[in-house]
Amino acid sequence: MRRYLVLGAVIAFFSFTAAAGTLDRPLPADAKVLRQSEFSVGASGQVSDIIIARDGRFTLDYVVAGATPIRTVILTDEQYRQANSGRKPKKPFVMDVAVQGSGSQSIRLATGTYHILWMGDAAAHMSYRAWWQSE
């Protein structure tokens, strides 16, 4: 049994490492990396704050290790304050998608402060790069 657990961990590590190419791809010349991070996420979630200085295209490149999809929600500053005060944030959210494996999600954002909430049903390890580009 232990042999299978070790083998599973090794396979997950190599899958994660191989998929990291999404985060290594070159960005357009006028792109600005806003944040890059690696962490474990579960039901309690993780939050990342992003400040958009000018209207433009916002892109999240991500790599999620394991089979658990990670819910990725982008909230406006007002929605985030509502949630922190115990109230239900008004919908629609800026973005609400489940991410798995490796890939990118892109959306147009106006100037402002945003909060990315990452949640999973089970613990998963992930890396992401958030970047902005003028349109």
Q: What is the CA radius of gyration of the chain?
A: 16
Q: How far apart are CA 7 and CA 87, in angstroms?
A: 45
Count the domains in the chain.
Answer: 1
**Span 24-74, pLDDT tens digits:** 889 999 999 999 999 999 888 899 999 999 999 999 999 999 888 999 999
Cα-Cα-Cα-Cα torsion 27, 28, 32, 34, nearest 10 degrees, comes to: -40
pTM exceeds 0.85 for this model? no
CATH of the domain at 29: 2.60.120.380
Domain range holding 89? 2-133
Check whether 80 has a pLDDT greater than 70. Answer: yes
- Residue 70 bridge partners (DSSP): 99, 120
Q: How far apart are CA 74 and CA 54, in angstroms?
A: 17
